[in-house]
Chains A and B, each alone.
Chain A
Amino acid sequence: MSAITAEPPASTGQAHHPEVGFFHKYIWTYDHKMIGIQYLWTALFFLLVGGGLALLVRYQLAWPNTPVPLIGQFLPATVASDGAIIPGGYNMLVTMHATLMVFFVVMPLLIGTFGNFLIPLQIGAGDMAFPLLNELSYWLYVVSGFLILAAFFAPGGAPGTGWTAYAPLSAEAKYNGTQMGQSLWGIAIFVNGLSSIAGATNYITTVVNMRAPGMTMFRMPLTVWSLFITAILLVLAVPVLSAAAAMLFCDLNMGTSFFKPAGGGQPLLWQHLFWFFGHPEVYILILPAMGLVSEIIAVFARKPIFGYKAMVYAMIAIGFLGFIVWGHHMFVSGMNLTLSATFSVSTMFIAVPSAIKTFNWMGTVWRGSIEFTTAMCFALAFVTMFVIGGLSGIFMASTPVDLFVHHTYFIVAHFHYVIFGGSILAIFGALYFWFPKMFGCMLNETLGKVHFFLTFIFFNLAFFPMHNLGLGGMMRRIADPTVYEHLRQLQPLNQISTIGAMGLGFTTFIFLGNIIITLWNRKSHPAPDNPWHANTLEWTVPSPPGHGNFPVTPTVYHGPYEYSVPGLDKDYLPQTEPAPAHVKLEAH
């Protein structure tokens, strides 16, 4: 350990802030670490809500039109009648599940929680560039959360137009039946967008301007790189959705006709604007997960990340390509065939940087001395599940195949393999990995392993059958598959999928239980400064770090992935420690 870490900063940190009360510590705080934790709890709450909605959806698909056990009679009249979910209510559940999971769970967890917590710590800064803006971003997220939940209580109920809210269904109250619900959706997306933009502006500025001495761009951990690129995508993509949401709101409430053919408007314009945002959004949801996983894999393989610069350039390429492929969501919308072929080719190009990343992860674990901690298990599961989700993506990139599988459960299987099998698994892994640094105590590894294996099994049980369902012809967004002759024989697959989903729901409580038990007994499992023997800067300060993070501004001497360097007496070399003269580092 270097001299920098020798002195605990708690005393110096607290000395400047003896007066910080409950309100300024937990509610309105300027400390990026606490803001990250605020995001964590709020997003976990939304994870439970969104997951509950998903279970209702799955229940209806497995046993259509039967009363939902236990909670059926508590469902509002817009969703269920006599405890059984009605078709309109089914649409609302699907819409709200997707909207909550994308905007209120995965984005806040990846970008809000880990972005806030890790960026300043990993680049050696005391806080974000704009602490006030940071807290404002969190509270805007909370406000947007209230707005979206309020849609359930609107006259006519929540919007049932899918998270994509395709016009003209979404743009005309007489079609969607819930002017206020759909308007609240639009406002919530707008406010959530403001929150994202505020956060992203802050991240970019922090990464560019606040790095510690010696922390060059190519010495930054891949986590920071991924969040940096994600923030750029957010700044450029989210405002376009905001503009579209404003148009949608005006169409609903001010009588404008942006998406209404009667007044010269174009429903397709909504699709273009939405997917111009929507496709970068896909990478907004996966890039930070890739960064987190890269970190975990390198630490637990005890090896330098294979091809660090290739990883960075691959992420930049994914970020760039993400902006020129949105048309592949619209192959069945009546697109010019030449344009469709162009989008098809540009989409397939994304397979190249994605494959670079996958091979580099494999190269990193190859012949490493792997420690199968819970975090590592989740990270390895991320890589495998991401490969499945990525490969099914290439099916859809090809227009002729897409024409067949579009609007089927094959698509649902694909994006759940990417967003659950990718992002959520990475989030779980990252929580096990950084929990000690966040809260100063270690999560229980045994419960963690149980959580991991059950999640992995139930996840595949829930989502793999959807591939078969989709190829068997099951359409998306149908409330009752049994009314279709050709789908009746597939009904057992739907039931298997639902059992898997219920298992996933149950498993989440093991995870939450683990968190609660650990925090309850936090004194009995105190986390050391560097429990995983990792190199990045956050592990050089106590767990949890004091206010202002670093007692003395750290100096960085080399890259973050110097593991098992020949000639050293330990298998890691923190970024704050210069390499001894006789040791030659691989690069930078």
Chain B
Amino acid sequence: MSTAVLNHDQPAGHASAPPATAKFGMIMFLASEAMLFAGLIGGYIVLRLSMPQWPLPLEDGRVVHLPWLLTGINTVFLVTSSFTLHFAEVQVKKGKSGLPLIFVTILLGSLFVGIQCYEWWHLHHEGLWFNSGGVYGSSFFLMTGFHGVHVLVGVLLILWCFLRQVFTRCFTPAHHVALENISLYWHFVDVVWLFLFAIVYLWH
């Protein structure tokens, strides 16, 4: 309690919240994000369970299958990036810069986004898109789209951390709030992906 009571001795409005408070705020925000994905995933499950066959055929009768193997490899990249970011944080806590591991995280995150883009392009080429394949296309592209935007935002945030660390070395063992919270966000996006991968790609 009372970890952060501003008073007239501190210039209110310019003070940033203390680390524990910031982290708590991030967890609340992620709870909200979890409900966003719960809404999307719940809708998907309802739609899918009422279908006699899945995947739904396209309008011309062809069935487009999702490239689960490629995406499986992509999933490994994303999960690895969670570990690299975590260990970057550990390095920062030990007083090191953590820069190499943060950089690897950015690479893996970008790789994930790139492969997802390729997959979207590939599926579009095959004829599956937002407006084809009925709810199969609709739900696939909306869910992976929402998640993809989250990954992209995460990569940009980690890039911001990286540049700050390169130029200012602002993350110290005692104080690295931004890195800590962005890392929480990144793990969250990763966990959401595991759910999405399981129900979208692996559920037959």
Show the binding face of A for B, using Cβ within 8 Å. Answer: 9, 12-13, 16-17, 29-31, 124-127, 129-131, 133, 197, 200-202, 204-205, 208-213, 215-216, 235-244, 246-247, 250-251, 254-258, 262-266, 269, 272-273, 276, 546-553
Question: Does the CB pair A238–B32 fall under 8 Å?
Answer: yes
Partner of A129, one of B21, B42, B136, B138: B21
Verify if B6 is at the interface (C-beta below 8 Å from A).
yes
Verify if B43 is at the interface (C-beta below 8 Å from A).
yes
Q: Which residue of B lies closest to A546 (CB)?
A: B8
Given contacts A243-B40, A258-B47, contact A17 B11 (CB under 8 A): yes
Given contacts A255-B131, A256-B131, A257-B138, contact A209 B3 (CB under 8 A): yes
Question: Does the CB pair A213–B2 fall under 8 Å?
Answer: yes
A266 to B43, CA, bound (A): 10
A243 to B42, CA, bound (A): 10
Q: Which residue of A lies closest to B51 (CB)?
A: A264
Chosen A-B contacts, 16 in total, with CB atoms closer than 8 Å, are A124-B5, A202-B25, A209-B20, A209-B21, A210-B21, A236-B35, A237-B35, A239-B39, A250-B138, A254-B130, A263-B135, A264-B135, A265-B138, A273-B43, A548-B11, A550-B5
Question: Does the CB pair B1–A213 fall under 8 Å?
Answer: yes
Q: Which residue of B lies closest to A277 (CB)?
A: B39
A212 to B4, CA, bound (A): 9
Question: Does the CB pair A250–B130 fall under 8 Å?
Answer: yes
Question: Does the CB pair B35–A127 fall under 8 Å?
Answer: no
Q: Which residue of B lies closest to A265 (CB)?
A: B135
Partner of B24, one of A9, A31, A209, A548: A209
Given contacts A130-B17, A130-B25, A264-B47, contact A235 B6 (CB under 8 A): no
Q: State the Cβ distance, A60 to closest chain B Cβ, in Å.
A: 36
Question: Does the CB pair B134–A212 fall under 8 Å?
Answer: no
Question: Does the CB pair A126–B6 fall under 8 Å?
Answer: yes
Q: State the Cβ distance, A265 to closest chain B Cβ, in Å.
A: 5
Q: Which B residues touch A236, using CB under 8 A?
A: 31-32, 35
Given contacts A265-B47, A265-B134, A552-B7, contact A243 B32 (CB under 8 A): no
Q: State the Cβ distance, B193 to closest chain A Cβ, in Å.
A: 17
Show the binding face of B for A, using Cβ within 8 Å. Answer: 1-8, 10-14, 17, 20-22, 24-25, 28-29, 31-33, 35-40, 42-43, 46-47, 50-51, 56, 130-132, 134-139, 141-142, 146
Question: Does the CB pair A126–B5 fall under 8 Å?
Answer: yes
Question: Does the CB pair A553–B35 fall under 8 Å?
Answer: no
Interface on chain B toward A: helix, strand, loop, or mixed SS?
Answer: helix
Question: Does the CB pair B31–A125 fall under 8 Å?
Answer: no
A578 to B6, CA, bound (A): 22
A196 to B191, CA, bound (A): 25
Q: Which B residues touch A238, using CB under 8 A?
A: 32, 35
Given contacts A129-B21, A256-B138, contact A210 B31 (CB under 8 A): no
Q: State the Cβ distance, A105 to closest chain B Cβ, in Å.
A: 23
Partner of B33, one of A208, A239, A262: A239
Q: State the Cβ distance, A95 to closest chain B Cβ, in Å.
A: 22
Partner of B43, one of A12, A247, A263: A247
Shortest 9 CB-CB contacts between residues of A and residues of B: A126-B6, A255-B131, A243-B39, A30-B13, A256-B138, A263-B134, A239-B36, A240-B39, A548-B12
